[in-house]
Amino acid sequence: MENAERILQNHIAGYRVLDKLGNGATSRVYLVKKEENGRVYALKHSLFPERLRTEAEILRELKHPCFPVWIEDGRLGDGAYLVMEYIQGVTLSQLMERYPGGMPEKMAVGIARDVVLGLAYLHDCQPPYIYRDLKADNVIVTAQGRARLVDVGAAVRVDGSQRDRCRAGTYGYGAPEQFWEGVRVTPSCDIYAVGKLLSFMLTGQNPCKPPYDTAEYCSRHSGIRRGLKRLLNRCLQADPQLRYPDASFLLAELENLEAKKIGFRKKIREITGNKCPYRYIKCIWRSDYERIF
């Protein structure tokens, strides 16, 4: 990638390089400005042109606010480049540095819901797409608190080709079948990664660090509601047939959990005459009662 660095020091295909945003195993992403109109974009450069061309084709087809907008792509020397919308915000990994013990449940479920909305769009395509590399580094949380997915480089269309049998994903997040040679993946592998991502947000326990048994860790975590534990347990099943079939089923379950929580709050307010939110109701145990009186 050293030659690429020299090429990208100043300008590329009518764009001026402002900063480096990140890098992966086969590519690097830069913050660039279009010299013609002064607009800022994200530019991805790779020395593997076929792989980046496939990513560009997928991104060009996606029409959903969860994903960056494709701008253009082309060849550059021995490699290729892809220009897309620059999503300003912080990665979920950076955000979790502020919540080492886990973020508030409402925030975690909100971020998960945005992610699952994007995955539901992918899974609803004909034929469906599978994202395959859902992780905290690929989730950008904007200043408005909305979550968006970047880097569709590992995404694959389930069309019966050999590509959906290739191994891809990140250890710690990826479903077990993603790392088995010759096994065709299904949308349920994205469901497994959602379970890992949501458990990370709720507990602060990074799936890529020990203890790696996220399902067992969450089952013993006292800060997770029973309904969320059931959801996580189904997402994190080793057998893909025991998980939610695709993201639309998981989205419905998340919305159902939120509706139940709102219904519980409403019931408490009705009982208390709307004088006291339920979180301030103090439970007095018998020993305290005897001590007071």
Structure confidence by residue, pLDDT tens digits, 56-94: 999 999 999 999 999 999 998 888 999 999 999 999 999
**Biggest distance spanned by C-alpha atoms of the chain:** 84
Measured CA angle at 30 (ends 24, 35), to 5 deg: 155
Q: Which residues of 83-104 are buried (b: 16+ CB within 10 A; e: fewer)?
A: bbbbbebebbeebbeebeebbe
For 67, how many CA atoms within 13 A lie in the half-sphere containing its CB? 25
Residue 97 pLDDT > 80: yes
For tokens 């997928």, what's the residue? 58
Question: What radius of gyration, in Å, describes the C-alpha atoms of the chain?
Answer: 22
Does residue 133 have an active-site annotation?
yes
Contacting residues for 223 by C-beta, under 8 A, at least 6 apart: 102, 202, 203
Which is more confident, 63 or 1?
A: 63
Q: What local confidence, expressed as pLDDT, does residue 280 receive?
A: 40
- pTM equals 0.82
Q: Mean pLDDT score of the chain, rounded to an integer? A: 84
Structure confidence by residue, pLDDT tens digits, 228-284: 999 999 999 999 999 999 999 999 999 988 776 655 455 445 555 555 444 444 444
Which is more confident, 115 or 216?
A: 115
Which is more confident, 98 or 280?
A: 98
Q: What local confidence, expressed as pLDDT, does residue 214 receive?
A: 73
119: its two tokens:
């995955």
Q: Which of 78, 114, 124, 133 is catalytic?
A: 133
Residue 45 pLDDT > 70: yes
Structure confidence by residue, pLDDT tens digits, 182-210: 778 899 999 999 999 999 999 999 998 87
Q: How far apart (Å, rounded) are the C-alpha atoms in residues 177 and 208? A: 17
Q: How far apart (Å, rounded) are the C-alpha atoms in residues 113 and 92? A: 14
| Cβ-contact 48, 4 below 8 angstroms | no
Closest CA to 163 of 54, 24, 49, 47: 54
Helix axis angle, 226-235 to 247-272, nearest 10°: 180
Q: What local confidence, expressed as pLDDT, does residue 104 receive?
A: 93
The percent of residues above 90 in pLDDT, for the chain, comes to 57
Q: What local confidence, expressed as pLDDT, does residue 272 receive?
A: 54
Structure confidence by residue, pLDDT tens digits, 164-184: 556 778 889 999 998 887 778
Q: What local confidence, expressed as pLDDT, does residue 5 receive?
A: 52
Q: How far apart (Å, rounded) are the C-alpha atoms in residues 231 and 130? A: 20
